[in-house]
A = this chain, B = another copy of it.
Amino acid sequence: MNSRISLLKELRDKSPLVHCITNIVVANFQANGLLALGASPIMAAAIEEAGEVSAISSSTLLNIGTLDGVSIASMIAAGKMANEKGNPLVLDPVGAGATAFRKQTVSTLLAELDVSLIRGNAGEIAAIANFPWDAKGVDAGDGTADIVEAAKGVAVRHKCLVAVTGKTDIVTDGAFVAQITGGHPLMSQITGMGCLLSAVCAAFLSVGKNHPLEAVAYSLAFYKQAGERAAELASGPGDFAVHFLNALHLLKDSDVNQASIFIQKEAFQQ
């Protein structure tokens, strides 16, 4: 895991351009979060330029939070360009379990594109895995399914990394599972916290292409650490969001608790 040590420094040195096709609720928070981290955001959902912007970007994020029929074509154009350039492509399947339209769109995107990482909450990953789950709108909801198994199944089927974030995060390539502890409950009371995390993973993946599982595990540990720092200073969700952006900016690599990452190899075969 020595490669992790330089990821944050490399990201800040390169300031990778991250193309986000995203939703109207979180676009501002996502852009500010990427800037605070040291990356450079661009949001360009128009079909006239979505592919061209992915071509000049270091990584591309597709977020279906406020999807409409038009934006699916833009997501495919942007995703295909990211694939062609060999750049990381992250899918955030917001509310995948909430409606037929979202579930169908996720299927279409996964069929058309080679996704590097799917990052969602338990309800979203369960929906993609066709595991039973009681999602609540765009929130995780509750369920008893084995989410680690669900994630590994999705990773194997779609040949990608799958991260499931919540109280404890996991990321898996289907064989290895990294588990990341930490964070703070206030992280679930800010809109776009998961959406920004997907963008942060896209930024770290662009500088950690050669060790993607480690890059995502590092992203998750970094993010949880930022949440802990922000929570120390916050009185509620309002100033937590403010301190969180500060923490993304101020955290140093040495602040990230690498002990919070536990990577396990399993004899998982399908």
Q: A residues within 8 Å of B by Cβ?
A: 15, 17, 19, 23-29, 31-32, 35-36, 40-49, 52-53, 56-57, 65-70, 95, 98-102, 136-139, 189-192, 235-239, 241-247, 249-250
Contact = CB atoms under 8 A, between A and B. Distances in A.
Contact of A235 (B56, B102, B250): B250
A162 to B, nearest CB: 23
A53 B42 CA distance: 29
A53 B137 contact: yes
Contacts of A243: 238-239
A191 B41 contact: yes
Given A25-B27, A42-B95, A138-B42, A49 B100 contact: yes
Contact of A249 (B43, B48, B237, B245): B237
Contacts of A68: 45-48, 70
Copies per assembly? 3
Contacts of A17: 136-137
A97 B229 CA distance: 38
A36 B245 contact: no
A117 B100 CA distance: 29
Nearest to A105: B48
Nearest to A42: B137
Contact of A36 (B56, B99, B189, B249): B189
Nearest to A17: B137
B52 A101 contact: yes
